[in-house]
Amino acid sequence: MTDLTGIYVHIPFCRQKCFYCDFPSYAGLDSVFDDYAAALRREIDRRSGLLSSCRIDTIYFGGGTPTLLSSHAILSILETLQRRFTVLKDVEISIEANPGTIDKEKLRSLRSAGFNRISFGVQSFSDSVLQSAGRIHTAQQAVQSIREAQAAGFANVSVDLMYGLPGQTQKDVLFSFQQAIRLQISHISVYGLKVEEGTPLEAALHSGRAVLPDEDDELAMYELATRILPENGYFRYEISNYARLGSQSRHNLKYWRYLPYIGFGAAACSFFDNERLTNTPDVMDYIAMVRENRDPAAVRERIEAGTAMAEYAFLALRTVQGICFADFSDRFQVQFESHYAEQIDRLLHQQLICQYPGGIRLTPLGMKFGNLVFAAFLPKKDK
């Protein structure tokens, strides 16, 4: 196992569920925040012995809304990680935050404890769009939180923006990008809405209470991002991610480069030594299992070579570097070009990928229809 490893800490709490969300995050569990933080510290303490050879170069607190926890709770978890692992000096320490759940004081204490990257779930700078998505904040609160984070010393501020939301227009999307650019954000993630089964949004669409932009509009919104952001100094380093030079998310790059990471918390996933572990998603079960010294991993999956090669291929293709043949053969002792010759020919013919000396990457068309490309690499039995 590569000893440079990332750590992910999952905080599965939100003030209220957004209408489109099916992530493992829960509203109304404020009474268990302290127990959950204690369980996290205990899980870290317990598992760190087995993982003591790892050197940690990225730590990511994600959710949910990690900033719903008190500064004291967040810092106690970070301190446990720092005490239990060998954390490198230049470690990237990120936290996700939602505007309206963080103030100047919390920002300052996070920054002075070592957090050096903050990612705000802004989604839109239009109040009507935010309301129709069930977000808890206003556009003004988003602007204020970003400015306060910058004033607290966060040089690396990221925002998530969405397109295709109910009632959203191309003008709204353009305004959101312009606002992020004006605020001198260093990193912008852009996601298209996916309507998930069982969400309030799906019900609202079904009953006609909500209406989505049509396909042409949605495509135009996607294309706005691919044009406006690079024109303003944000290079697209992954299908959904744009950054100013040097501000790429080092932690998320680990996922796309198929590098090891350790996850702590309910629903958190770990990936190392060709194995994937996923903790139970149930918060109360997680707390009880850790308290009783039981293993909270609900799923343990050995990753076979064929699956690992396919996962590596479609994750690497998400990035602008794409697949480097030498890196692939170092890792799997298999020649990518011959193993996937048929897929490469077909995708080249469809102009979804292009070749560069020593590798392949997605074309702009491939970026748009990434799922078609990724499906081509799945092992046949999984198709």
**Stretch of 11-19, 43-51, 326-334, 335-343 contacting ligand SF4, by CB under 6 A:** 11-19
Segment 23-42, which members bind ligand SF4 (CB under 6 A)? 23, 25
Q: Which is nearer to ligand SF4, 64 or 265 (CB)?
A: 64
Half-sphere exposure in the Cβ direction for 350 (13 Å, CA): 18
Q: Which is nearer to ligand SF4, 121 or 359 (CB)?
A: 121
Give the one residue of 7, 9, 11, 18 binding ligand SF4; rule: CB under 6 A.
Answer: 18
Can you read off the two tokens belonging to residue 371? 């799922």
**Stretch of 18-26, 177-185, 193-201, 209-217 contacting ligand SF4, by CB under 6 A:** 18-26
Q: Cα(33)–Cα(77) distance, rounded to whole angstroms?
A: 12
Can you read off the two tokens belonging to residue 118? 């903050």
By DSSP bridging, strand 323-324 and strand 4-11 are: unpaired
For residues 163 and 229, the answer to whether their CB atoms sit within 8 Å is no
79: Cβ–Cβ under 8 A, 6 or more apart, which residues? 113
**Stretch of 61-69, 76-84, 187-195, 280-288 contacting ligand SF4, by CB under 6 A:** 61-69
Q: Which is nearer to ligand SF4, 121 or 281 (CB)?
A: 121
For residues 223 and 229, the answer to whether their CB atoms sit within 8 Å is no
Q: Which is nearer to ligand SF4, 204 or 323 (CB)?
A: 204
Give the strand order in the sheet containing 156-163. 235-238, 241-243, 187-192, 156-163, 117-123, 86-97, 55-63, 4-11, 261-264, 269-272, 275-279, 297-302
**Stretch of 13-21, 178-186, 217-225, 340-348 contacting ligand SF4, by CB under 6 A:** 13-21
For residues 319 and 326, the answer to whether their CB atoms sit within 8 Å is no
| β-bridge mates for residue 241, sequence order | 189, 238
Using CB under 6 A as the binding criterion, the count of chain residues that bind ligand SF4 stands at: 11
- Contact between 21 and ligand SF4 per CB under 6 A: yes
Q: Which is nearer to ligand SF4, 12 or 366 (CB)?
A: 12
- Contact between 63 and ligand SF4 per CB under 6 A: yes
Q: CB neighbours (10 Å) of residue 52?
A: 10
Smallest gap from residue 281 Cβ to ligand SF4 (A): 13
Separation in Å, CA 289 to CA 23, 44, 314: 21, 14, 35
**Backbone φ, ψ for residue 45 (5° rounding):** -55, -45
Instruction: Fill in the per-residue mask, 117 to 136: x = in contact with ligand SF4 (CB under 6 A), - = not in contact.
Output: ----x---------------
**Stretch of 20-28, 139-147, 191-199, 265-273 contacting ligand SF4, by CB under 6 A:** 20-28
Q: Which is nearer to ligand SF4, 110 or 376 (CB)?
A: 110
- Contact between 191 and ligand SF4 per CB under 6 A: no
Q: Which is nearer to ligand SF4, 5 or 158 (CB)?
A: 158
Smallest gap from residue 21 Cβ to ligand SF4 (A): 3
**Stretch of 15-23, 233-241, 262-270, 327-335 contacting ligand SF4, by CB under 6 A:** 15-23
Q: Which is nearer to ligand SF4, 165 or 347 (CB)?
A: 165
- Contact between 67 and ligand SF4 per CB under 6 A: no
372: Cβ–Cβ under 8 A, 6 or more apart, which residues? 350, 352, 366
- Contact between 141 and ligand SF4 per CB under 6 A: no
Residue in 197, 196, 122 with CA at minimum distance from that of residue 163: 122
Footprint of ligand SF4 (CB under 6 A): 14, 17-18, 21, 23, 25, 63-65, 98, 121
